[in-house]
């Protein structure tokens, strides 16, 4: 399948992008994703990757270049973080509405102000309604595998894909990574042959004005396409397992079989939370953990299956939803359970903002709160965890 080597995760992600034989890379530096595009520039400069490397003046321009290039029928890539993602905001909705299979890696970072270069999910949670397929990795190997998966899915579903990995905590660490052999990558991601593309020899209209009589139908079409992409996403993971031996699912669980209290989490903190699960299990407490590998489209049925018969769900958000009644993931889960017969109590914590450490002991305390809340009448509890008074 491939040789396992120790690599900085950003470098390994760039290598995986190169293996996908991208044609156009739009690059603008912003911490902590810069190493990804820097390494891609080296590969292009050294002749190891035959691609156009476009150095642009902003993140808005980076995604604009990808939109224009993708519309001509070529394979594109960009990456960003935090304020860079916010600067792309206008273009995010254009890319999805035009059904362009752009792949973007987001090295998740807190947004200003105050200025912070450290990790949380404040950036990516702003684009959850932008019409992109979105996946989350926990470590370097998963980030690499999700890049391969992103190109397979994007070009079959004709939708852009955002692959999330935690800034610094994942991007800048050295891990044992197994890149697929190029032959397997080529088999998994065949040459991109779009049905429609901008071509002077065969002119078409892209991005025309949407008058009121058609706008709603156009947005509905995107909504249906995103919902229907679920089958493509799952099948692509099954196909990936066949060639790599590594299995991915929309919602993945850890020790949830008989859990009374479950924890919901995404990203690199998952592995720390697993240690808390193990410690509490040793004490005889029935706790478990589930994490979303797929965030958009929201895997509703997988989530309901995963929670089993838990009496309480501890939801750990890495972002705030200012002025609302919970964190983004907590609110999403509360909404998902509204039409279900399963109604566990929900204990929603916002934790780990801007890279603040969340320890095994912290997760144990959150689980204990989940146990306490099982007997309370109120169905939902919300707290910003660890605020210094």
Q: Which residue has the tokens 């476009």?
A: 54
Helices and strands, counts by H and E, the chain: 12, 15
pLDDT value of position 167: 98
- By the 10 Å C-beta count (0-12 exposed, 13-18 middle, 19+ buried), 41 is classed as middle
For residue range 86-117, what is the model confidence (pLDDT) as tens digits?
999 999 999 999 999 999 999 999 999 999 99
pLDDT value of position 310: 96
Q: Evaluate whether 139 touches 146 at the Cβ level (below 8 Å).
A: no
Dihedral sign (CA 320, 326, 330, 335)? negative
Nearest to 362 by CA among 314, 324, 319: 314
Residue 136: half-sphere exposure toward Cβ, Cα within 13 Å: 27
Residues in the chain: 389
Start-to-end CA span in the chain (Å): 52
What is the pTM (predicted TM-score) of this model? 0.97
**Domain boundaries of the chain, sorted by first residue:** 4-244, 251-384
Q: Evaluate whether 151 touches 20 at the Cβ level (below 8 Å).
A: yes
pLDDT value of position 2: 78
Which CATH number is associated with domain 4-244? Answer: 3.40.50.970
In sequence order, the 6+-apart residues with CB closer than 8 A to the CB of 337 are 343, 344, 346
pLDDT value of position 239: 98
pLDDT value of position 386: 87
Q: Evaluate whether 351 touches 317 at the Cβ level (below 8 Å).
A: yes
Nearest to 52 by CA among 33, 81, 20, 75: 75
Question: What is the domain class of 251-384 according to CATH?
Answer: alpha beta
pLDDT value of position 220: 97
Nearest to 177 by CA among 5, 17, 1: 5
Is 4-244's fold the same as 251-384's?
A: yes
pLDDT value of position 375: 87
pLDDT value of position 376: 87
pLDDT value of position 154: 98
pLDDT under 70 in the chain at which residues? 1
Q: Evaluate whether 151 touches 75 at the Cβ level (below 8 Å).
A: yes
């Amino acid at each position: 399948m491939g040789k396992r080597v120790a690599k900085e995760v950003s470098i390994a992600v760039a290598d995986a992008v190169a293996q996908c034989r991208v044609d156009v890379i739009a690059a603008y530096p912003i911490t902590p994703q810069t190493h990804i595009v820097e390494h891609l520039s080296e590969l292009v400069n050294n002749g190891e990757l035959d691609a156009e490397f476009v150095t642009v003046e902003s993140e808005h321009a980076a995604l604009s270049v990808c939109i224009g290039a993708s519309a001509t029928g070529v394979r594109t890539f960009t990456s960003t973080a935090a304020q860079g993602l916010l600067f792309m905001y206008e273009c995010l909705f254009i890319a999805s509405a035009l059904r362009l299979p752009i792949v973007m890696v987001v090295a998740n970072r807190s947004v200003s102000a105050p200025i912070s270069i450290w990790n949380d999910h404040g950036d990516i949670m702003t684009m959850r309604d932008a019409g992109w397929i979105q996946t989350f990795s926990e470590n370097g190997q998963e980030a690499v595998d999700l890049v391969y998966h992103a190109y397979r899915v994007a070009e079959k579903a004709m939708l852009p894909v955002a692959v999330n990995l935690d800034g610094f905590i994942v991007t800048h660490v050295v891990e044992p990574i197994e890149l697929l052999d190029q032959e397997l990558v080529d088999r998994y991601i065949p040459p991109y042959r779009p049905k429609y593309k901008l071509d002077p020899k065969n002119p078409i209209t892209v991005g025309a004005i949407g008058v009121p009589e058609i706008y709603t139908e156009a947005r509905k079409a995107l909504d249906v396409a995103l919902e229907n992409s679920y089958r493509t996403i799952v099948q692509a993971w099954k196909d990936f397992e066949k060639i790599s031996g590594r299995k991915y699912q929309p919602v993945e669980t850890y020790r949830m079989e008989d859990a009374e209290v479950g924890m919901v989490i995404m990203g690199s903190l998952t592995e720390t939370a697993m240690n808390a699960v193990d410690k509490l299990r040793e004490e005889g407490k029935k706790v478990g953990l589930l994490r979303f590998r797929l965030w958009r489209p929201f895997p509703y049925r997988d989530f309901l299956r995963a929670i089993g018969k838990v009496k309480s769900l501890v939801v750990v958000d890495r972002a705030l939803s200012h002025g609302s009644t919970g964190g983004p993931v907590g609110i999403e889960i509360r909404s998902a359970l509204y039409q279900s017969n399963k109604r566990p109590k929900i204990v929603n914590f916002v934790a780990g903002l801007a890279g603040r450490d969340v320890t095994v002991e912290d997760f144990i305390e959150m689980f204990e709160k989940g146990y306490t809340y099982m007997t309370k009448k109120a169905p939902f509890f919300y707290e910003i965890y660890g605020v210094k008074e």
